[in-house]
Amino acid sequence: MTLIVAGIGTDVGKTIISAILCEALKADYWKPVQAGDLSNSDSHKVKDLVSNPMFNTHRETHRLITPISPHASARIDNITIKQSDFILPHTQSKKLVIEMAGGLMVPLSEDMLVSDFIVTLARPVILVSNYYLGSINHTLLSIDHLRQRNIPIAGIIFNGNRVEESRKIILKMGDLPLIADIPHTKNLTKAFIKTHAEQIQHHPRLACL
């Protein structure tokens, strides 16, 4: 089972949600493209948050130095990101959570968007939303884009302090199964990840993947 974690934008909580899903599903983790923060990458962060002793992170295909859009960061590094670069890692658990970079329309190269890469993976997506001003628009646009590309959506996870009206209208108009609401925390620990993993590990939308 392979599951893709995609966000409505940058810094919406994809890495936290990926850690929770890895813990809940006893899955490995892979982020194909990391731009910037190489000494404290998302792979490092997830590894530090997951308690499962059998958990494994797989090395990024592209580790880019500059924390900007991957296509631009790759150009600085004199790299062109191609679809043929990516090979799904082998996992002992046979379960893998793949975290995408940025939002769906982020360019990985001059002719490949994140959503283009997702299409080739042909795996279901968990969409991560957040409660900032404008998130309703970004979430509904992301849902619409995934559906236009015929990308299967397993469900949505909200991250951050709940705004009830935003949550309600997104669930109604987006018509997606709710997987979880993950509150904002200033104390991000293994215990926090494990607690929320236990709450979703038997969710029917995850169990049927």
Integer Cα distance of 205 and 113 in angstroms = 27
Integer Cα distance of 100 and 34 in angstroms = 9
Long-range contacts of 188-191 (CB under 8 A, 24+ apart): 188/16, 188/49, 189/49, 190/48, 190/49, 190/50, 190/51
Of 14, 26, 31, 190, which is the active-site residue? Answer: 31
Question: How does DSSP classify residue 116?
Answer: H
Of 113, 181, 170, the closest CA to residue 140 belongs to: 170
Structure tokens belonging to residue 75:
């150009």
Integer Cα distance of 107 and 32 in angstroms = 14
Bridge partners of 29, per DSSP, are 57, 97
Catalytic residue flag (residue 194):
no
Place of tokens 């995934």: 146
Integer Cα distance of 152 and 161 in angstroms = 27
Catalytic residues: 31
